[in-house]
Each structure stands twice: as structure tokens, then as C-alpha cells.
Amino acid sequence: MTIMILGLLIFLGGHSVRIFAESWRQQQIAARGEGTWKVAYSVVAIVGLAIAIYGYGQTRLNPINVWFPPMGLRHAVALLMLPAFIMLVAAYVPGNAIKAKLGHPMMLAVKIWAFAHLLVNGRLGDILFFAAFLVWAILAFKAAKQRSRQLPPAAQATSLPATLATVAIGLVAYGLFAFYLHQVIIGVPVFG
């Protein structure tokens, strides 16, 4: 459990700089350059995530059950993950109406993912892992909205083809993950 918590602190701590220390972040970028900042940020993120995932896997070896979720909640998770995948894709496809409307679809996707997985995981390690991401996503979304309000609203050109591509890619990614990759990567089937 300690390894997972350490990894979460590194990963989410690095991702929380914009929440709690935006001026320090700007100073570091100004002093060292944006490229150096991005490399350092990426290294911290990769190391933290790797440690968190390894630690999470270790918590599954000796689970501490807090509660036993009803099996029916798996259907709710499968349903909730559909918009989460579409929002995740919306964060990266330029010109889609979903990003223009929501502003920060990546953080919303993380919120949905974390909440959905809290519904069906009753082990202490799972609860800590997903709750940490949920709390971070809530704080990050709030901070991002505040930053957006400080800037003049930028006109965002959207197109129907970009929006349709976003939805299509999100649906395909969802299908691949739900029916194949979740079992391969996580070791747990989504349906079954």
C-alpha cells in the first residue's frame, strides 16, 4: 500500500502544480525553458504512474475488503465509461464541439473513470487509488475553470466532422478497451 501511495503522491503531486503553484510553475518555465519543463514533468509523471500502478498491483495480492459491491454496478460502470472515453478523445481532437462546450474534457473523463471504478471496487487499495484520482480531478477541473475565467474567451471554431470523429474514435477506443484491453492490461474482464 505504501508503494502505491508514494506513486500517487509523485504522479498526482506533479499534476497538481497547476492547482497549487501556478506562479512557481511559470517561474520554472521562464528560467529553464518550456522544453526542459515538459521533459522533467513527463519524467516525474511516468515514474510516479509506474510506481503507483506497481503498488496498486501489490495491494491486490493481499486485499483488505472494505465492502462488497453488488455485481449489478458493473453495468453502471460500463455505461459511465462510454462518455468518459468520448471525453478523453475530445481532449485531443482539434475543433470538436465537445471540448468547446465542456472546456476541460480530460478532467471530466478522469472524474467519471474514478467515480465509476469506486462503485465496483470495495478493496481498500482500490478505494484509495480511485479516490485519489477523483479528488485530484475535481480540484484540477476547478483550477482549470478559474484559469479559463481569467483569460478573455477565445473563439473556438468547431466542425461537425471533428465532433463526429471524436465520438467515433471514443466509441472504438471504448470497444477495444472494454472487450479486449481491460482484460489484457488490468487482468479483469469488463463483461464476464
Question: pLDDT tens across 158-174, in order?
Answer: 899 999 999 999 999 99
Instruction: Please give the model's pTM, rounded to 2 decimal places.
Output: 0.91
Question: What number is the average pLDDT over the span 19-36?
Answer: 94
Give 66's contacts (C-beta < 8 A, 6+ positions apart): 122, 123, 124, 127
Rounded CA-CA distance 7/128 in Å is 12
